[in-house]
Amino acid sequence: MKKDILIPEVKEVFVAAALVYNPYFKVKEWNIYLINNLQEPIETVLVVSSGKSKQKATSVLRKKLDLLPAKSFAKLEYIQEDVMALENSFQVSFFIGNQLLDKTFTFKSNQIQEKNLAEIPLLKEKGVLAG
Could you give the domains of the chain? 2-129 (2.60.40.1600)
* Residue 27: per-residue pLDDT: 92
pLDDT band at 2 (very low <50, low <70, confident <90, very high): low
Distance CA 111, CA 118 (A): 12
pLDDT digits (tens, 9 = 90+) for 43-85: 999 999 999 999 999 999 999 999 999 999 999 999 998 999 9
For 101, counting Cβ atoms within 10 Å of its Cβ (0-12 exposed, 13-18 middle, 19+ buried), the class is middle
pLDDT at residue 10 greater than cutoff 60: yes
pLDDT at residue 5 greater than cutoff 80: no
pLDDT at residue 1 greater than cutoff 60: no
Distance CA 23, CA 122 (A): 21
pLDDT digits (tens, 9 = 90+) for 83-114: 999 999 999 999 999 999 999 999 999 999 99
**Taking residues 20-39, what's their average pLDDT?**
95
